[in-house]
Structure 1
Amino acid sequence: MSKSVIDLFCGAGGLSEGFRQVGYSVLAGNDIDEAAGKTFDRMHPEARFLSGPIENLSAKQFLSAAGLKKSELDVLIGGPPCQGFSVYNHQRGLHDERSSLYLEYLRIVEGLNPKWVVLENVTGMQSAGNGAAIQAIIKGLEDLGYRVEAKTLKAEEYGIPQERRRILFVGNRLGLPVHWPMPTHGPGLLPFVTVRDAIGDLPELENGGTYEGGKYGSRAKGDFQKYVREGSKGVTNHGAPRLGEINMQRLEHIPQGGSWRDIPFDLLPKGMKRAKRSDHTKRYGRLRWEGLSSTILTKCDIHWGAYIHPEQDRSISVREAARFQSFPDWFEFSGSRTEQYVQVGNAVPPLLGRKIAETIIAIESGEEIPSEPISLSA
């Protein structure tokens, strides 16, 4: 019998997908976002999706949906909404009601009593309230009988083509140690997965264009493209918003690796005419083929970050953002394009979830923690 997972604040289900890739059965999920719920429902047909605010749901409802009794669940996973702690939220802190949703996670932990817990959040938690939320989560889980560790992981060190920092909490009530997956990519290891490795095979798009259900732009090159294309029938969600005329004029001046500082002064947005050259280094950034993607957020807005295609004068598409998050191509996002970007940006990269899941399996079986790179085509 496969091991079981329930996903709280599941969004589209990136963390669930990572656990599923190594054999876990995702039995239930919950989120308040209806569009994300449709995606989760379609992409996790084996799971029961419970819609609405988690405050309105009881642990018994999750157990009923999953067909489990208390203490039978193997892993409870989830990432409470993180805007309250985000470095992009300048009023962040514990006063933000979204910051206290971890208490709902703890409430469900108490009611389910899973063997393992995995909780993900932004690194802004470390500075918000001087790290009070981190200590509160650890203490809350310890009070429920869990041995817990917290660590900031870098997505790019695990074969994900993106600079992304997230804090992970992993714990168990089995008396087992908590270990972390060994990095597989970086200096002295496998080379980082680049922007070209990630999206170089996708068809060209015009500004504001959409390419749905068609063939790829070229044959798969490299392990990452083979991984994302396995089981896919074609390209979906490959559409980008239309940029206005003034933005198109700005893009003409930005080389690969360049930013707003390459735009002639008279074409700059008003606010940026007053900016220091050392400020906002990612704004109007054009990705480099041989570099990493910048952190994928819920809006891939070129005014706020490096979301311009390396060669084509347009912002990156939903599918390109999903590639940078390591979603397989068969994983199709529901809702409007705006809602799709939100789902991709909020997700835990499936390959990061997979590494955590592999490490839990290794700990339970008493094996050494795998330091060899995972085979993406397995």
Structure 2
Amino acid sequence: MTKKPTAIDLFCGAGGLSEGLRQAGYSVVAGNDIDQYAGATFAATHPEATFIPGSIRDLKASDFLKATGLEKGELDCLAGGPPCQGYSVYNHQRGMHDERSHLFREYLRIVEGLMPKWLVMENVTGIMSAGEGEAFQAVLAGIKALGYNVEARILRAEDYGIPQERRRVVFIGNRLGLPIAWPEKTHGDGLLPFTTIHDALSDLPALKNGEDGGVQTYASEPQSDFQREVRSGSNAVYNHAAPRLGAINIERMKYIPQGGSWRDIPFDLLPSGMKRAKRSDHTKRYGRMRWGGLSCTVLTKCDVHWGAYIHPEQDRSITVREAARIQSFPDWFQFEGPRTEQYVQVGNAVPPMLGRRIGEAILSAMSTNSTDMDTEDERKAATG
């Protein structure tokens, strides 16, 4: 039996990127994160991997080698997304002075100690402008200095079948002298139609504001290919409880149609701060999703004050399970910890479907290289 390529996930969170790599055909052998709740989710959903808790600053590459039984240079892919709050457009004090902006150096330190054949690093697009691009250029230079061929691109989640407008910078590198492999778009103009909110959520049970029905049954048979895929391996709905919003927010929602926002709320019902806002500001706040559209970016709080997180038909904000669906997590993937921490885990994750496309592209490049080497060896043998 062919041995699966190996992967380690740094800053793994709940394990969205590693789940995608696993779906692509990797054996995820270890993960690390400082967050105890995300770590509990990763450990529960990746039983084949060793979870190493704690700050990356306190760990050495040898800790990962010891945990996995690998030797330096044997690891096929090192993945990770150093915490991005220092670069996020939602952090108005963002920049290189934020200590989280330097965690990519810890990632590079582990790269140097492990020397994986391939590496994948994901971050918010803000890394390209923070410190006038200082961090972005430092990441590229740091990876190249370790002997890797590396490229970076902005990938759009919706181009790969994820029902969400999400932009992320992805760095891919290898030390094998191979061209960088990028996933081909699967959805959009001339391709498959974008996956809509209806495609993603229409089979989930209805909830009232504040309702928690526990483990629930599906409301219908799968209504789309997306639902068939994420429901594979699950026979129930988990993490599906509606946050309890105050009466004033429920009253506001009554005026917001699908695709609408705070501008549809009568002036006297608006929060005091928004009464002073320009009509062109805060376009997503108090937004109601459209069945036929995409979600806005899933953040660590699906708070109606922050974005378009109102259910298309039900007067409530979306649940952890609905946020996880929008991120393309499979339904069997259960999130541990308090509900507020579950939202954080979902919002911080790389969508598994995107991780899978990246993993598949790298495996394809590895396979092509292996075939080329075999052909070259055969040619040399024939002429030798």
TM-score category, normalised to shorter length: over 0.9
Counterpart position of 1:284: 286
Q: Give the one of 322, 325, 333 matched to 1:323.
A: 325
Counterpart position of 2:358: 356
Matched letter for residue 213 of structure 1: V
| Structure 1 residue ranges (4+ consecutive) displaced by more than 3 angstroms after TM superposition | none
Q: CA deviation at 1:131?
A: 1.3
SS at match of 1:40: helix
The whole-number CA distance in structure 1 between the counterparts of 2:167 and 2:305 is 21
Q: CA deviation at 1:179?
A: 2.6
The whole-number CA distance in structure 2 between the counterparts of 1:21 and 1:181 is 15
Within a 5 Å distance, the mapping from 1:224-303 to structure 2 comes to 224-303=226-305
Q: CA deviation at 1:22?
A: 1.8
Within a 5 Å distance, the mapping from 1:9-48 to structure 2 comes to 9-48=11-50
The whole-number CA distance in structure 2 between the counterparts of 1:212 and 1:170 is 40
Within a 5 Å distance, the mapping from 1:1-378 to structure 2 comes to 1-366=3-368
The whole-number CA distance in structure 1 between the counterparts of 2:213 and 2:35 is 26
Counterpart position of 2:381: none
Q: CA deviation at 1:134?
A: 1.1
Q: CA deviation at 1:212?
A: 2.6
Any conservation in 2 of the 1:308–1:316 contact (CA below 8 Å)? yes
Larger Rg: 2
Any conservation in 2 of the 1:211–1:235 contact (CA below 8 Å)? no
The whole-number CA distance in structure 2 between the counterparts of 1:315 and 1:222 is 23
The whole-number CA distance in structure 1 between the counterparts of 2:264 and 2:202 is 24
The whole-number CA distance in structure 2 between the counterparts of 1:211 and 1:356 is 36
Q: CA deviation at 1:187?
A: 1.2
Any conservation in 2 of the 1:211–1:236 contact (CA below 8 Å)? no
Q: CA deviation at 1:9?
A: 0.2
Counterpart position of 2:374: none
The whole-number CA distance in structure 2 between the counterparts of 1:15 and 1:211 is 29
Which sits farther off after the overlay, 177-186 or 251-260? Answer: 177-186
The whole-number CA distance in structure 1 between the counterparts of 2:350 and 2:216 is 27
Q: CA deviation at 1:221?
A: 1.4
The whole-number CA distance in structure 1 between the counterparts of 2:41 and 2:28 is 14
The whole-number CA distance in structure 1 between the counterparts of 2:65 and 2:35 is 21
Q: CA deviation at 1:215?
A: 1.1
Matched letter for residue 237 of structure 1: N
Q: CA deviation at 1:354?
A: 0.3
The whole-number CA distance in structure 2 between the counterparts of 1:258 and 1:14 is 30
The whole-number CA distance in structure 1 between the counterparts of 2:191 and 2:60 is 45
Matched letter for residue 162 of structure 2: I
Any conservation in 2 of the 1:236–1:329 contact (CA below 8 Å)? yes
Give the count of matched residue pairs. 367
Any conservation in 2 of the 1:250–1:267 contact (CA below 8 Å)? yes
SS at match of 2:277: coil
Give the TM-score taking structure 2 as reference length.
0.95
Any conservation in 2 of the 1:86–1:92 contact (CA below 8 Å)? yes
SS at match of 1:283: coil
Matched letter for residue 320 of structure 1: E
The whole-number CA distance in structure 2 between the counterparts of 1:61 and 1:128 is 32
Any conservation in 1 of the 2:86–2:99 contact (CA below 8 Å)? yes
Q: CA deviation at 1:26?
A: 0.6
Q: CA deviation at 1:206?
A: 0.8
CA displacement 1:264-313 (0-9 Å, x = unmatched) = 00000000000000000000000000000110000000001000000000
The whole-number CA distance in structure 2 between the counterparts of 1:132 and 1:169 is 15
Matched letter for residue 353 of structure 2: L
User: Which consecutive unaligned segments of at least 5 residues does structure 1 have?
Assistant: 368-378
Any conservation in 2 of the 1:211–1:237 contact (CA below 8 Å)? no
Q: CA deviation at 1:209?
A: 1.1
**Identity rate, percent:** 69
- Note the aligned Cα RMSD (angstroms): 0.7
Q: CA deviation at 1:213?
A: 2.0
Give the TM-score taking structure 1 as reference length.
0.96
Any conservation in 1 of the 2:24–2:357 contact (CA below 8 Å)? no
The whole-number CA distance in structure 1 between the counterparts of 2:235 and 2:70 is 35
The whole-number CA distance in structure 2 between the counterparts of 1:128 and 1:51 is 29
SS at match of 2:120: strand
Counterpart position of 1:374: none
Matched letter for residue 148 of structure 1: V
Counterpart position of 2:375: none
Counterpart position of 1:372: none
Any conservation in 2 of the 1:76–1:109 contact (CA below 8 Å)? yes
Matched letter for residue 177 of structure 2: G
The whole-number CA distance in structure 2 between the counterparts of 1:354 and 1:22 is 5
User: Which consecutive unaligned segments of at least 5 residues does structure 2 have?
Assistant: 370-384
The whole-number CA distance in structure 2 between the counterparts of 1:308 and 1:257 is 10
